[in-house]
Amino acid sequence: MEKFHKFSKATGLIVNHQKCKAYYGEVDDQIKNDIQHITSYVEGKLPYEYLGISLTAKKLSTHHCLKLVEKLLVCPSCFGTSMAKPTHYGSDGSKTYYFKNHIIHIVPITDQCSWILRVILNLRNEVYIMQAWTSCQQNDKFNTRRIYKDLKGDRNKVIYRKLFYNNLARPMALFMMWLAFQERLAAKDKVLELDMINEDNCVFYNQLESQEHLLFYCYGMQSNWKLVTS
């Protein structure tokens, strides 16, 4: 318990004893009683569940995660539906809360704003100087498509879009692929800039270890790829 108190002082986080349980394996009753006396934690039943999923040493299958999947499918639709309702029909009143006693053109951006609301409010100054916004004011008719097109600007489509988007690979693999496209993989040349290492030579081939070197020019990595794909 001393470690818990030390952790609480360092982080400001406090353990909620009412939600804590102790789990035992091959422990006699005397030790259980001593632990419960010190911690006041009740004994939990195995297997331990987190978000409705039983955590075991075995590989989880599809049916283990069905409860969580059902919750994820139900919650977003309910949340979106309730948010769109007026307050007297069950909305949480977030629109009223953020914009109460304020005009949307000058409403301040506070710490309570969600990230999406921050993005929207930060675009106000860009919208005001657009020709499309002036036309909307003159015609008294708002054109969402035109405003969005002007905000987006003339941007080239990324060359990796067909490979990356709608790809059914694992999330971790997609994230690493995205880092590679952004040239942000933690090769030695990047890590050296952070002063975390002292040299930047490739361990397979005595050259500068960069992302491009590892993916295309390193003979050691090419040999490993051949072994993996063979």
pLDDT tens, per residue, the chain with 230 residues: 777 778 777 777 787 878 888 888 888 889 888 888 888 888 888 777 777 777 776 777 777 778 777 777 665 444 444 444 444 444 444 555 666 677 777 888 877 777 888 888 888 888 878 877 777 777 777 778 887 888 777 778 888 888 888 899 998 999 999 999 988 898 999 888 888 888 889 888 888 999 999 888 888 888 888 888 77
Q: What is the pLDDT of residue 210?
A: 92
Read off the amino acid at residue 3: K
List beta partners, residue 53: 50
Structural tokens at position 143: 């054109």
Q: φ, ψ for residue 84 (rounded to 5)?
A: -80, -15
- Give the start-to-end residue ranges of the domains of the chain: 2-46, 187-230
